[in-house]
Amino acid sequence: MERETRVRFAPSPTGYLHVGGARTALFNYLFARNTGGKFILRIEDTDLERSSEEAMRDILQGLRWLGLEWDEGPQVGGDRGPYFQTERIDLYTAYMNQLEREGLAYRCYCTTEELSAERERAAAEGREYKYNEKCRRLAPNEREQRSRAGTPSVLRFAMTPGTTIVDDMVRGRVSFDNALLDDFVIVKSDGMATYNFAVVVDDALMGITHVIRGEDHLSNTPRQILLYKALGFALPRFAHIPLIMGADRTRLSKRHGATAVTSYRDQGILPQAMINFLALLGWGYGDKQLFDMAELCELFSIERVNKNPAVFDTDKLEWMNGQYIRAMNIDDLYQVGFPYLLQAGLVSEEPDEGMIMKCKEALRLVQDRLRYLSEIPDLTVFFFERPDGYEPEAADKWFARSETAIRFEKMVSGLQSMALFNVEAVETLIRNSASMEGIKAGELIHPLRLALTGRKASPGIFETMELIGRDECVIRLQKAVEFIREHL
């Protein structure tokens, strides 16, 4: 029996959850579910300067919204914690002492000023900068003296010659010459472990079997492998997934538009659409495009992850979101759509039964037209409010003749004398009046739509009229008559 797979998503809470991070989290999650393993969330909050509580909340919320529930981590616990790096300092200390004791790492007393001066010199001479290993060659008594004097220091890893191979699940075997890696810092002068050191200790202690992360970490991997070996830890498998880029093929950033998961949520992207879209950025399964979470969990595999970076193109996301919106039943659509109606002030916080029915009916009528939930208010206002004007180009076209006003007046009396006011009856009335006038139905319908909705486009006019209601239709027609006469 194979050991249970354990993967992790390890964000640093220095900003909101962005789509790239969400995609990394998703791949980890899918791998865990596919292999019956565990998905762990660990917070890399060692950068006290930039970490914030707010960013943490955004990340956790974002993951939850996407349905990427973690098995171990903040808020859920687990027996391989703590899950915040700032609470794991004692662990790092123990291992850094071990490395120093074994001579695999050494204290370096060089100051930041010395180092940056050295760096500048290297740059000026067009030379490759690499730490000069000055402190590695410190005489024992000198070392002893500085240590006793309490001179500030960092701990550096003592690089050994050779070649380090990263056997990557998506990229294959990638080799690095250790000579190009220098004696990197593993403990900062404030005693905190650096990223490369902390990540190794944490992944090893948490029993992480597969490290699935962005390709930007590939060049860090040889250092980490060397650390695993120095610490006597078993190596996990690595899988470096391609980066997500903007339309200009540079790494996706804010200037490419929205990158925050929450901003897509707020625009009314459904989490299942976001998941589906993200999954297809770097992974695919034949010609199939639409996958729900259960299918993704079942079908996902690292072998099908491709190597080339993908451009984040929201056209497909929008289409997908439309697909998911159309697949919803009305009650669910109401659940997710209500907040948008509320925010637009079209409904009150606690609508009565009748209003709920009206909302649902309105949603039913616009369901096929939606790509974002945030489009709901604009597409449905006129069901809730009398239009406060008419689209000018449409008005020029349909409200330019006096016959229209006369026809509207006839329509008003027609509506008032109807026994039953419903879709069928309204349609019959309108088609009959059109043929009695000797015009095509469309010639009546277009002005009618404009009068009732203020728009040149709307859901089917008969359904629209039924939902607006007879009395309100009459009022709006009368208003239109006034408008036409005033503007002739």
Q: List the interface residues with RNA, window 116-145 (CB under 7 A).
A: 119, 128-129
Gap between the Cα atoms of 316 and 323, Å rounded: 10
422 binds RNA (CB under 7 A): no
Question: DSSP assignment, residue 77?
Answer: B
Select the residue interacting with RNA from 34, 61, 93, 189 (CB under 7 A).
189
Tell me which residues in 39-78 interact with RNA (CB under 7 A). Answer: 44, 46-47, 50
Q: Which stretch binds RNA (CB under 7 A): 32-40, 246-254, 328-336, 473-481?
A: 246-254
Tell me which residues in 333-362 interact with RNA (CB under 7 A). Answer: none
Select the residue interacting with RNA from 161, 286, 389, 392 (CB under 7 A).
286
Q: At residue 65, what is the residue type?
A: W
Which pair of structure tokens corresponds to residue 79? 């027996």
Select the residue interacting with RNA from 53, 79, 90, 315 (CB under 7 A).
315
Select the residue interacting with RNA from 101, 137, 249, 255 (CB under 7 A).
249
Do 478 and 441 form a contact (C-beta atoms < 8 A)? Answer: no
456 binds RNA (CB under 7 A): yes
301 binds RNA (CB under 7 A): no
The owner of tokens 């649902």 is 360
Minimum CB separation of residue 120 from RNA in Å reads: 11
The owner of tokens 């050494």 is 106
Of 254 and 485, the one with the shorter C-beta distance to RNA is 254
Total chain residues near RNA (CB under 7 A): 82
Task: HSE, CB side, 13 Å, CA atoms: give it for residue 424.
Answer: 2
220 binds RNA (CB under 7 A): yes
Q: Which stretch binds RNA (CB under 7 A): 74-82, 89-97, 166-174, 347-355?
A: 166-174
313 binds RNA (CB under 7 A): yes
Question: Is the preceding peptide bond at 82 cis, omega within 30 degrees of 0?
Answer: yes
Query: How far is the CA of 150 from the CAs of 99, 131, 135, 144, 185, in angstroms?
Result: 20, 22, 15, 10, 19
Minimum CB separation of residue 349 from RNA in Å reads: 29
Of 341 and 426, the one with the shorter C-beta distance to RNA is 426
146 binds RNA (CB under 7 A): no
Tell me which residues in 82-121 interact with RNA (CB under 7 A). Answer: 85, 110-112, 115, 119
Closest CA to 185 of 176, 174, 196, 177: 196
The owner of tokens 């220095």 is 14
Do 373 and 337 form a contact (C-beta atoms < 8 A)? Answer: yes
330 binds RNA (CB under 7 A): no
Select the residue interacting with RNA from 263, 289, 433, 478 (CB under 7 A).
289
Query: How far is the CA of 397 from the CAs of 391, 392, 404, 446, 457, in angstroms?
Result: 10, 9, 11, 9, 14
Instruction: Choose the catalytic residue: 130, 254, 307, 358.
Output: 254
Residue 456 annotated in active site: no
Of 170 and 261, the one with the shorter C-beta distance to RNA is 170
Q: Which stretch binds RNA (CB under 7 A): 138-146, 261-269, 355-363, 443-451?
A: 443-451
Select the residue interacting with RNA from 104, 243, 269, 347 (CB under 7 A).
243
Do 214 and 241 form a contact (C-beta atoms < 8 A)? Answer: yes
Q: Which stretch binds RNA (CB under 7 A): 228-236, 315-323, 337-345, 353-361?
A: 315-323
167 binds RNA (CB under 7 A): no
Which pair of structure tokens corresponds to residue 397? 């076209």
Minimum CB separation of residue 108 from RNA in Å reads: 8
164 binds RNA (CB under 7 A): no
152 binds RNA (CB under 7 A): yes
Select the residue interacting with RNA from 2, 79, 125, 190 (CB under 7 A).
190
Tell me which residues in 362-381 interact with RNA (CB under 7 A). Answer: 368-369
Do 63 and 24 form a contact (C-beta atoms < 8 A)? Answer: no
Minimum CB separation of residue 188 from RNA in Å reads: 4
306 binds RNA (CB under 7 A): yes
Q: At residue 101, what is the residue type?
A: R
Of 348 and 432, the one with the shorter C-beta distance to RNA is 432
Catalytic residues: 254
